[in-house]
C-alpha cells in the first residue's frame, strides 16, 4: 500500500508566496515594465452611445510632435470577433475598432501610437470624428418592445440560443412540472421585481499590457489579464497569426475582480508592435477604467412564487432580462449560469424560467465575482424574506423548510448530491447566537435521500 501524503495545511497559516515582494515594493506589475524605444498607445473613443460613423480625420493628430502612426479597423486582420468563440458562442459581433457605426460611449474607433503617453493623448484629442447620432436603446425591456430600434445585425435585440441545435430560442429556458396548475393550488402568490445596477470593478491598477517584438519573430506580451491563455488565443485569432507566435507573461494582477477577463488591450498593443517593430504599452487611464471599461452587468428579474401555508414553495416563475450592453462579451454564458441558479438552493417542484440576454447601447457588461449568479442570489434571498413575511414564518424557518436535500431534483434535472445548505445554516445560527428550534436543528441534507429525485 502506498502511504497517503499527509494533508496538514488546513487550519494553519501559510505565508504568502508573493507577500515579501508586495511589502518591499519589488513585485513588478505591468506598468512597471518599460523598454527602450517603447511606444505608447491611446484610443480614440466614441463620445455618443449610438450612431453612424461617417469618417475619421487624422490630419491634425498626425501633426502632433511624437505621433508615429494611427490604426483603424482596416489594419486589424480579423476586426470583428467575440471572446467566447473559444467555447462556441457565435456570431462574432464586436469590432476591435469601429467600422461604420458606434454602439456605446467609449467604444474604440482608432488607435494612436506615439513616442510618449502625453503625445498619444494629445494626438487622440486632435482626431476629428464625423458622427451622426441615432436614438439609442438604453433599457432592456424597451429593447424588446415591438417597434424598438434593432441595434444588432442579425435582427433582434436579444441573443439567440440553441442555434447549434438548429433552434432559435429568444432566451435561455428552464421548465420543470406545471407552474400554472401549481399557482392555482397555492395558498399565496408572492411576486417581486428586482433590479441590480452596473458596478465598476475599479481595480487600483488599471488594465494594461506591453507587447514587445522579439528577434525570432514572436511577440512577448506582458499583461495584467485575469485570463492569460484565453486572451492569447483571442489575440492570435484577431491578428490571424499562429498561437505560438505569442508568448504571454502574466500572473501579477493589481486587482481584477472579473474586470480584467475581457480581451481588450492585448490585440491592439500587439498589432501596434507588429506594425512598427517597436515595443508598445497600452494602459488605461483612470478615466478609461471607470468609463470605457465594461462593468458588472445590470439584471432585472421578475419573480412569481406559489407558496403553501406551511411555507413550502410549490411553484416559481422567473423572467430575467440581463443587460449585455452593446456586445456579447461574457453575458450569453452568464445568462445560462443565471438560469441554472435562479431557483435558488431550494427544492421547488414546479419551475418556469426565461432569461434573456439583451443588447443595449451601454458599456458591455462583463464578469464580476459570480456574475449571473450574484444577482440571482440577491433576488432569491429577498424573495425568501418576502415569502416568510407573507406566510407568517421566521426567515430561518422558511429556508430550512425549502432547503434542497441530497436526492432532490433541480429545475435543470441535476439530482442534488452535494447539498450543504442545512448544515451551513445550522453553523451560521450558532455563530450569530440564534437559538434554532429543535425541529430545524435535527434536519439534515440527507434526511430525504431518494425523496424528491
Partner 1 sequence: MTAKIVSFNLNGRDVDVMVKPLTTLQKLLREDLGYTAVKIGCKQGGCGSCTVLVDGEPMMSCLLPVEDVAGRRVTTLEGLAQGDELHPVQEAFFENYAIQCGYCSPGMIMVSTALLEHNAHPSREEIVEALSGNICRCTGYEPIIRAVSTAAERMNGNGSR
Question: Residue 22 or 414: which CB sits closer to partner 1?
Answer: 22
Per-residue contact flags (x/-) with partner 1 for residues 34 to 63, judged by CB under 8 A: x-----------------------------
Question: Residue 65 or 255: which CB sits closer to partner 1?
Answer: 255
Strands of 313-323's sheet, edge to edge? 172-176, 350-358, 313-323, 298-307, 188-195
253 binds partner 1 (CB under 8 A): yes
Of 29, 154, 243, 434, the one binding partner 1 by CB under 8 A: 29
Which of the stretches 128-136, 173-181, 251-259, 376-384 binds partner 1 when contact is defined by CB under 8 A? Answer: 251-259
Q: Which residue in 66, 414, 349 sits closest to 182, CA to CA?
A: 349
Per-residue contact flags (x/-) with partner 1 for residues 275 to 314, judged by CB under 8 A: ----------xx----------------------------
The distance of closest approach from Cβ of residue 31 to partner 1 in the complex, given in angstroms and rounded to an integer, is 6
Paired sense of beta strands 280-283 and 39-45, if any: parallel
Helix axes 373-391, 395-402, angle to 10 degrees: 110
24 binds partner 1 (CB under 8 A): yes
**Rounded to an integer, what distance in angstroms lies between the CA atom of residue 140 and that of residue 159?**
12
For residue 54, give the H/E element and its range.
strand 51-57
- 199 close to 374: Cβ distance less than 8 angstroms: no
Question: Residue 117 or 170: which CB sits closer to partner 1?
Answer: 117
Question: Residue 6 or 11: which CB sits closer to partner 1?
Answer: 11
Question: Residue 257 or 302: which CB sits closer to partner 1?
Answer: 257
φ/ψ bin of 83: left (φ > 0), alpha (ψ from -120 to 50), beta (otherwise) = alpha
Strands, DSSP E only, in 271-377? Answer: 280-283, 295-296, 298-307, 313-323, 350-358, 365-366
Per-residue contact flags (x/-) with partner 1 for residues 211 to 250, judged by CB under 8 A: ----------------------------------------
Cell of 53: 460613423
- 406 close to 445: Cβ distance less than 8 angstroms: yes
Number of residues binding to partner 1, judged by CB under 8 A: 31
31 binds partner 1 (CB under 8 A): yes
Which residues make Cβ contacts (< 8 Å) with residue 239, sequence separation at least 6?
76, 77, 78, 267, 270, 271, 274
Of 42, 45, 73, 201, the one binding partner 1 by CB under 8 A: 201
How buried is 106 (Cβ within 10 angstroms: 0-12 exposed, 13-18 middle, 19+ buried)?
A: buried
The distance of closest approach from Cβ of residue 18 to partner 1 in the complex, given in angstroms and rounded to an integer, is 7
The distance of closest approach from Cβ of residue 384 to partner 1 in the complex, given in angstroms and rounded to an integer, is 26
Evaluate the omega torsion of the peptide bond into residue 266 and state whether it is cis, within 30 degrees of 0. Answer: no
Of 84, 86, 121, 202, the one binding partner 1 by CB under 8 A: 202
For residue 380, give the H/E element and its range.
helix 373-391
Per-residue contact flags (x/-) with partner 1 for residues 3 to 22, judged by CB under 8 A: ----------x-xx-xxxxx
Question: Residue 18 or 185: which CB sits closer to partner 1?
Answer: 18
203 binds partner 1 (CB under 8 A): yes
Per-residue contact flags (x/-) with partner 1 for residues 132 to 171, judged by CB under 8 A: ----------------------------------------
**Rounded to an integer, what distance in angstroms lies between the CA atom of residue 284 and that of residue 59?**
24
Site residues for partner 1 per CB under 8 A: 13, 15-16, 18-29, 31-32, 34, 201-206, 253-257, 285-286
Amino acid at each position: 500500500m502506498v502511504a497517503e501524503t499527509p494533508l496538514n495545511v488546513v487550519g494553519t497559516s501559510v505565508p504568502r508566496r508573493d507577500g515579501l515582494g508586495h511589502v518591499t515594493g519589488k513585485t513588478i506589475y505591468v506598468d512597471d515594465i518599460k523598454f527602450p524605444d517603447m511606444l505608447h498607445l491611446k484610443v480614440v473613443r466614441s463620445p455618443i452611445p449610438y450612431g453612424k460613423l461617417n469618417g475619421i480625420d487624422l490630419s491634425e493628430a498626425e501633426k502632433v510632435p511624437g505621433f508615429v502612426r494611427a490604426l483603424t479597423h482596416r489594419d486589424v486582420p480579423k476586426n470583428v470577433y467575440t471572446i467566447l468563440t473559444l467555447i462556441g458562442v457565435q456570431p462574432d459581433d464586436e469590432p476591435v475598432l469601429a467600422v461604420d457605426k458606434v454602439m456605446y460611449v467609449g467604444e474604440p474607433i482608432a488607435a494612436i501610437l506615439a513616442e510618449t503617453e502625453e503625445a498619444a493623448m494629445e494626438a487622440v484629442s486632435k482626431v476629428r470624428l464625423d458622427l451622426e447620432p441615432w436614438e439609442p436603446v438604453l433599457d432592456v425591456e424597451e429593447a424588446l418592445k415591438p417597434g424598438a430600434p434593432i441595434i444588432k445585425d442579425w435582427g433582434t435585440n436579444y441573443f439567440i440560443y440553441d442555434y447549434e441545435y438548429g433552434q432559435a430560442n429568444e432566451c435561455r429556458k428552464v421548465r420543470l412540472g406545471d407552474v400554472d396548475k401549481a399557482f392555482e393550488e397555492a395558498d399565496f402568490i408572492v411576486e417581486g421585481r428586482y433590479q441590480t445596477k452596473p458596478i465598476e470593478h475599479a481595480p487600483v491598477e488599471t488594465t494594461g499590457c506591453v507587447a514587445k517584438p522579439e528577434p525570432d519573430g514572436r511577440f512577448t506580451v506582458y499583461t495584467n489579464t485575469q485570463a492569460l491563455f484565453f486572451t492569447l488565443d483571442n489575440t492570435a485569432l484577431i491578428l490571424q497569426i499562429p498561437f505560438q507566435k505569442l508568448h504571454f507573461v502574466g500572473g501579477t494582477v493589481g486587482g481584477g475582480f472579473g474586470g480584467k477577463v475581457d480581451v481588450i488591450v492585448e490585440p491592439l498593443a500587439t498589432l501596434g508592435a507588429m506594425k512598427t517593430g517597436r515595443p508598445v504599452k497600452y494602459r488605461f487611464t483612470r478615466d478609461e477604467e471607470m468609463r470605457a471599461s465594461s462593468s458588472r452587468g445590470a439584471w432585472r428579474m421578475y419573480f412569481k412564487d406559489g407558496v403553501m401555508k406551511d411555507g413550502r414553495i410549490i411553484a416559481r416563475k422567473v423572467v430575467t432580462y440581463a443587460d449585455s450592453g452593446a456586445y456579447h462579451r461574457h453575458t450569453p454564458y452568464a445568462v445560462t449560469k443565471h438560469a441554472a441558479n435562479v431557483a435558488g438552493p431550494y427544492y421547488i417542484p414546479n419551475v418556469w424560467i426565461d432569461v434573456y440576454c439583451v443588447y443595449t447601447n451601454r458599456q458591455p457588461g462583463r464578469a464580476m465575482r459570480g456574475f449571473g449568479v450574484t444577482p440571482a442570489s440577491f433576488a432569491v434571498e429577498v424573495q425568501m424574506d418576502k415569502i416568510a413575511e407573507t406566510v407568517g414564518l421566521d426567515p430561518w424557518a422558511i429556508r430550512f423548510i425549502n432547503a434542497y436535500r441530497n436526492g432532490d431534483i433541480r429545475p435543470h434535472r441535476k439530482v442534488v448530491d452535494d447539498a450543504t445548505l442545512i448544515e451551513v445554516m445550522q453553523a451560521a445560527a450558532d455563530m450569530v447566537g440564534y437559538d434554532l428550534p429543535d425541529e430545524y436543528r435535527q434536519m439534515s441534507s440527507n434526511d430525504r435521500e431518494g425523496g424528491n429525485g
